[in-house]
Amino acid sequence: MPIQEYIVRAKGATWQVWRGAQLLGAESTQMDAVCLAEAAAYSAAARGERSKILVGDLDGVPIEFPTIEPRGLQAGIEKAPPERG
């Protein structure tokens, strides 16, 4: 299953949030940009997509958050099909 990557990086005095080649938004602080990325990642998980947040630190080493799994895939548990009765 592919993973959507949400990238948080500094651009001048702002912090941008990217998904692939699409700019999702820009915030004045790193924390606000991370919150935006988290909101987008959890929204993707609600739609059944796996996602990950990567934060480009100022020293050039990215910080990688744990993968956000869709509900039902968390902890390796898949949704069981509904019982027929």
Delimit the domains of the chain by residue range. Answer: 3-67
Would you state the pLDDT for residue 85? Answer: 52
User: Distance (Å, rounded) from C-alpha 66 to C-alpha 63?
Assistant: 10
45 CB contacts (<8 Å, ≥6 apart)?
51, 68, 69, 70, 71
Q: Which of 40, 42, 44, 56 is nearest to 7 (CA)?
A: 56
The pLDDT score that the predictor gives to residue 6 is 96
pLDDT band at 82 (very low <50, low <70, confident <90, very high): low
User: How high is the pLDDT of residue 7?
Assistant: 95
Closest CA to 67 of 83, 53, 49, 81: 53
5-62 confidence digits (pLDDT tens): 999 999 999 999 999 899 999 999 999 999 999 999 999 999 999 999 999 876 778 8
Q: How confident is the model at residue 80 (pLDDT cuts 50, 70, 90)?
A: very low
Is the pLDDT assigned to residue 77 strictly greater than 50? no
